[in-house]
Structures are given as structure tokens and as C-alpha cells.
Chain A
Amino acid sequence: MNTPIRALVIALALAGLGACKKEVVKPIDSVEPNGGDTAQVTPGDTDGGIDFNDPTSLDTVPCLVSRLAYFDLDQASVKSEAMEMIRCHGKYLAANAGARISLEGHADERGSREYNLGLGERRSNAVRDLLLANGGSSEQINVLSYGEERPICTESDDGCWSQNRRAEIRYTAKQ
């Protein structure tokens, strides 16, 4: 096995590890604008003017209105541009103990369907781990994978595939 391939294998193996253990929380610190005490959000706290106790914030605050994280091909590591969105939802979950979400992981159409179910779940798990690291609790989060079964876009090209490789946050209870 040549070196670049071995490096890829190791990277993928680590990504796989991250998907099932709660160790991928490190990157969040680097994009944390105000320290790292996210797990200590208490009712009444506000963050950058966001009132996480107010369920209408889900419809008005940009980082809470946003519910989608996109992924690279065959990857389940959360990209930096999704971190802020996930951090907000983690804080919202922390502030609203009754809130419940369904985390739906998806894959593009390439490859076999059952393998893609696994890939979608890996992506859901990666987002879940970050939500937990930001104050969400596991009983608030239901992890699901639809694999390639629920595409946003049905053309067979890079543009569509990149939209379909995603994890979606769906609120089943807002507070």
C-alpha cells in the first residue's frame, strides 16, 4: 500500500472511529467565539443576543433557522461552515429540556443502498456528537439514516450529489 493511500485509510478509519465515539468534539473549540462553556447554558442565558429559551428563535435566528450540514464524498466529518449552526442547536436543546429533534443523515446515490444507510448514520452521529458537546442531551436526539432514499435533488451530477450528502435537523418538539 503506498503512502497516500495508507494515509487515507488511516484518516477514514479515524473518521469512522469518531462516528461512534464521542471524541470529535475538539474542532468545536476552535470556532467557539466566547469560550467553551457551552454545556453550562442555563435557562435565561442569552448568547450573542440570542434568547435560546424563546421557541420563536427557531424561526427567526439565522443559525437556528438553518438545519442542514453538508459533507464531502464518503466522509462524515462535519465541515467548519456547519459548526456555528450545530452549536446554536446544541444551545437551544440545552435551554429547552423538552425540545426533541430527529437527526436525519443522507448520502448521495453512488454505491449500494444499504452501505449508504451506514454512511448516512455516520453523518447523523457526527452531528449528534457535536450537539451533545454543546449542551444537548442524548434523550433529546433521535438519530436516523435514510441513506440515499430521500434525495433533495435527483440529477446524477456533482451539484446534486453535494446537496444530497447531508444531515438534517428536524424538530419534533420545540420546548
Chain B
Amino acid sequence: MPRLLACALVLIALLGPAVSFAQGLEIPIYKGKEAAIPIAIVPFAWEAAAMPDDTQIDQIVRADLNRTAQFRSPLKGDLPSMPARGADVNYAQWKQNNQDFILIGRVLGTESGYRVEFELHNVLKGQSVFAKSLPVLPGQFRMISHQIADIVYEEILKVRGAFSTRIAYVTAKRLPAGKYEYAIVVADWDGFNPVRVVSSSEPFLSPTWSPDGKSLAYVSFERKTGPAIFVHNLATVSRNVLTSFKGINGAPVFSPDGRRLALTLSRSGNPEIYTLDLATNSLTQLTRHFSIDTEAAWMPGGNSIMFTSDRAGKPQIYALPAGGGTPERVTSTGEYNSRVNVSYDGRLLAMVQGNRNVYRIAVLDRERGGSGTVRMISPGPMDESPSFAPNASMILYAAREGNRGVLYAAPADGSVRYRLANPDGDIREPSWGPYRN
């Protein structure tokens, strides 16, 4: 382990608690979807004595659910009535309005803050599904709204919701005199509440979450000698250098149990896939080939690793056992496939698929076995870095518009996409964080 630096703890200066520019997912490119479940979300009544909070709970819940394309929820102006309590729900009216479900609620004052009470009703059955309440502190209304969306999502689809999760991404802002300011930012899944984790005049790449959501690993060019992989604790705001070998230190990704990191090192002369045991700092080399092997992704369970290799000429996706073995080619369509990201259940593989000058996000569905079926979920031409939500309901990816980088979120069927705007420069390299407990 000659050049593995012995985890020197470096304190990072935090650049203010939150970045000031307003941003969020916007500009829906909406095709609609017949199979989506119709659910009315009624504005929550404000019944507390204090001034109403600016946060519109109903709008956040509606946006969360609609963006998955698994639901379709009408705008406030199209609602036939605005009940705030179960007794006021007229099922016949909502049935005529073609809704399957209706969510209603109200905000009450408490000694320490507020309480949100909310009810989900099944219009078709004409009965209440649940009535719940959650305490809210001032400033937590967005977070609580995402939690309510998670509860509704799981109740109806029997799959855990991922609206309370966070994302990480890289921003690049052009400064005068040809200089840049790069930053790694963590935000809510919909782009709100962005917080800078670290910034530098040198590029960052490939931020990736630890499975417990407490740390990010990323590639930084801050050191003059070349790139290094850092692991950055978000709570203590401190970081360690994990690897800084000669050559490429790239594409870090934590194993599902968080004990190992798969990464790319070119210390042997060209890029190879390794695993790093985080407890012992011992490295295991998995690939030995003169091609470029990079962009590892763990399969669920951690027994197998997928990666990009151009050993057959152009980049394609391969898989090999996490303990080492013979790589087998996974992708069979598309002249260029790279940067694979795997859904939590291993069924879906999202990747960059290139064809001439058009690079789009492709989703390979392997449920039916064989080489699987491929669906393109983005229009291109410069799309990259796909990252699944922890429940695979959506995929975040980077695109270029003009000469600016933007992020999009799209359901795994590609029927809708939403842009995460960053008016302040380039935004790229999104990574969807794990569930928050």
C-alpha cells in the first residue's frame, strides 16, 4: 500500500449553509400517461394562529407524484371542491371528476411548532384509506411535504417512496480570466435546498453516496500532482484522501454494504478496476487488460461488478465477480455503451448509449432474461451520468443545452422529464442518494 495516504483528516471550510440562488425542478416536458393513477391533492387548510408558511404542501406532493409518471394529479384550479376533513369529502363528486384517490389535510398550531394532519381517501371504494399526523418545526414544511408524498406513494404502490432523498452533483461556474469555480453540491431530490459541500478552482468528478448517506466519495483535481479520491463526511465536514496514486484515481463507488469501494486506477499503466477494503486499506485488482476499464457499478448484494471497457474496440458494459474473474459482456446493442448504473433490484441498467454524435440515456431491462430489452429515455444529443432513485422510480441524468450543463429527472419509462435548473453555470454528474431513515 505504498501510496495510500494514511487518512489524514482535513477540515473543509463550509461556504455558507445554503447557496442563495433559487432553483428547483422546472419545465416539465410532459407527455402524459394513460396508466398513471389519478389522485387529487387538495390544498391543505392553514388552521394555525401564526402566519401561514410559504410552502404549499399540496404543490410539492403533487409535483413529486406526477414526476414519477405513475400518478397524474390535476392542478388546483381543476378541483371541484377543497375539503380539509374527511366528513367534507363528497365521493360521488370526485368519482365524477375521474379521481381514484384524494389527499386532504390541514396544518394546526402546537406549542413547539405545527402538526400536519392528512387523510388519503379511496374514491372508487368510497372510504378512508388512512388518517395520519406528523409534527413539523418551522422551516421543515418542504421536508414534511416530501414525507407525505412518500407515505402516499408507498400506500398506493406498495413500494417505498424516494421523495425524501437527496442528490449530489457537480457545478462549474465560469469566472473572469478563463478561470472556473467547481463545487460539489447536495440538494433535495427536486433540487431545492442546495448546499455546497466543497469548492475548488480545479474540477470535481463522480460524486457518489455511501449507502448510509453520511458520506460522499468523489474525484478531485485539487492536487497539482493529479487526481485523488476523497471521502467526505457530510456531518463532520471533514474528508480523507483515499487514493492518490500516479495516474487516474477515478470512478469511485461504494459497495452495497459500504465496506468496500470499487474504483479505477491507472497506476499499472492504464485504467483498471480495483476494489479497496475501507477497513484495511487493501487493494484488489479485478481487471488486467490494456483497454480502458472504468466506471464500476455494484450489483445488488455486492457479489458482482459491472464496468465500462473498450476491450472490444468501442466502450461496452461488462460484468465480473467482485472477487475477480473473467469479464463477460453485458451490452449487445449500441456502438457505444458506458457509465452503467444499476437499479436496486438489479433488473434495470441505465447507461450512456452513443450512436454517431448522439449520446442518450438507455435503460436495459433484463427481467425477461437473455440480453434484455433496451429503451431510450432521453433525447440526447449529449446526455450522460444516469443515476437511479433508490426505488428505481426515476433516473437523474446530465444533459447539455446550448453550451450549458443541466440535469433532468425522468421516470424509468422516459415518458416525462423535468429539468433541474442552475442559473449559475454548468450542472453535471448527478448521483442519487440512498433512502433516509
A95 within 8 A of B: no
B327 within 8 A of A: no
- Chain B contacts of A19 at CB under 8 A? 270, 290
Q: Are A111 and B250 in contact (CB under 8 A)?
A: no
Q: In angstroms, how far is the closest chain B Cβ from the Cβ of A162?
A: 13
- Chain B contacts of A137 at CB under 8 A? none
Q: Which of B122-130, B152-160, B278-286, B312-320 contacts A (4 or more CB under 8 A)?
A: B312-320
Contact residue among A9, A146, A156 (Cβ-Cβ distance under 8 Å from B382): A156
B206 within 8 A of A: yes
User: Residue on A with the closest CB to B351?
Assistant: A112
Which of B290, B357, B385 gathers the greatest number of chain A CB atoms within 10 Å?
B290
Which of A109, A118, A119, A143 gathers the greatest number of chain B CB atoms within 10 Å?
A118
Q: Are A122 and B354 in contact (CB under 8 A)?
A: no
A155 within 8 A of B: yes
Q: Are A12 and B382 in contact (CB under 8 A)?
A: no
- Chain B contacts of A145 at CB under 8 A? 247-248
User: Residue on B with the closest CB to A153?
Assistant: B403
Q: In angstroms, how far is the closest chain A Cβ from the Cβ of B94?
A: 47
Which residues between 347 and 400 of chain B lie within 8 Å of chain A, taking CB atoms?
352, 354, 357, 359, 381-382, 384-385, 400
Q: Are B339 and A110 in contact (CB under 8 A)?
A: no
Q: Are A115 and B308 in contact (CB under 8 A)?
A: yes
B188 within 8 A of A: no
Q: In angstroms, how far is the closest chain B Cβ from the Cβ of A124?
A: 9
Contact residue among A8, A16, A114, A147 (Cβ-Cβ distance under 8 Å from B339): A114
Q: Are A119 and B292 in contact (CB under 8 A)?
A: yes
Q: Are A143 and B310 in contact (CB under 8 A)?
A: no
Contact residue among A8, A13, A115, A143 (Cβ-Cβ distance under 8 Å from B315): A115
Complex Cα distance, B225 from A16, in Å, reads 24
A20 within 8 A of B: yes
* Contact A118-B294, Cβ < 8 Å, known A110-B359, A144-B226, A150-B203: yes
Complex Cα distance, B290 from A172, in Å, reads 29
Contact residue among B227, B271, B357 (Cβ-Cβ distance under 8 Å from A118): B271
Complex Cα distance, B315 from A122, in Å, reads 14
Q: Are B248 and A118 in contact (CB under 8 A)?
A: yes
Complex Cα distance, B385 from A90, in Å, reads 38
Complex Cα distance, B352 from A115, in Å, reads 11
Which residues between 114 and 165 of chain A lie within 8 Å of chain B, taking CB atoms?
114-115, 117-119, 121-122, 125, 142-147, 149-150, 154-156
B221 within 8 A of A: yes
- Chain B contacts of A147 at CB under 8 A? 205
Complex Cα distance, B311 from A144, in Å, reads 22
Q: In angstroms, how far is the closest chain B Cβ from the Cβ of A170?
A: 11
Q: Are B400 and A156 in contact (CB under 8 A)?
A: yes
A67 within 8 A of B: no
Q: Are B384 and A156 in contact (CB under 8 A)?
A: no
B16 within 8 A of A: no
Q: Are A146 and B221 in contact (CB under 8 A)?
A: yes
Contact residue among A5, A111, A114, A121 (Cβ-Cβ distance under 8 Å from B354): A111
Which residues between 1 and 35 of chain A lie within 8 Å of chain B, taking CB atoms?
5, 8-9, 12-13, 16-17, 19-21
* Contact A113-B314, Cβ < 8 Å, known A121-B266, A149-B221, A156-B381: no
Contact residue among B206, B292, B310 (Cβ-Cβ distance under 8 Å from A113): B206
* Chain B residues within 8 Å of chain A by Cβ, number: 44
* Contact A112-B384, Cβ < 8 Å, known A146-B203, A156-B400: yes
A74 within 8 A of B: yes
- Chain B contacts of A21 at CB under 8 A? 290
Which residues between 294 and 326 of chain B lie within 8 Å of chain A, taking CB atoms?
294-295, 308, 310-315
B336 within 8 A of A: yes
B60 within 8 A of A: no
* Contact A74-B221, Cβ < 8 Å, known A110-B354, A110-B359, A115-B308: no
- Chain A contacts of B312 at CB under 8 A? 9
User: Residue on B with the closest CB to A158?
Assistant: B357
Q: Are A9 and B226 in contact (CB under 8 A)?
A: no
Which residues between 242 and 278 of chain B lie within 8 Å of chain A, taking CB atoms?
246-248, 250-251, 264, 266, 269-271
- Chain A contacts of B221 at CB under 8 A? 146, 149
- Chain A contacts of B58 at CB under 8 A? none
Contact residue among A8, A114, A142 (Cβ-Cβ distance under 8 Å from B251): A114
Complex Cα distance, B385 from A115, in Å, reads 11
Contact residue among B292, B311, B336 (Cβ-Cβ distance under 8 Å from A122): B292
Complex Cα distance, B314 from A111, in Å, reads 11
User: Residue on A with the closest CB to B313?
Assistant: A9
Q: Are B266 and A118 in contact (CB under 8 A)?
A: yes
* Contact A121-B271, Cβ < 8 Å, known A111-B336, A114-B264, A115-B339: yes
* Contact A112-B203, Cβ < 8 Å, known A19-B270, A156-B381: no
Complex Cα distance, B246 from A142, in Å, reads 9
Complex Cα distance, B427 from A85, in Å, reads 37
Q: Are A113 and B384 in contact (CB under 8 A)?
A: yes
- Chain B contacts of A146 at CB under 8 A? 203, 221
Q: Are A113 and B205 in contact (CB under 8 A)?
A: yes
- Chain A contacts of B248 at CB under 8 A? 117-118, 121, 145
Top 6 A-B residue pairs of the complex, sorted by shortest distance between their CB atoms = A118-B292, A112-B339, A9-B313, A149-B203, A20-B269, A112-B338
11 contacts between A and B (CB under 8 A): A5-B313, A12-B313, A12-B314, A13-B290, A13-B291, A16-B291, A111-B354, A115-B338, A115-B339, A125-B269, A146-B203
**Besides A16-B290, A154-B403, 9 other A-B contacts (C-beta < 8 A):** A9-B312, A16-B291, A19-B290, A74-B314, A112-B339, A113-B339, A114-B251, A149-B205, A149-B221
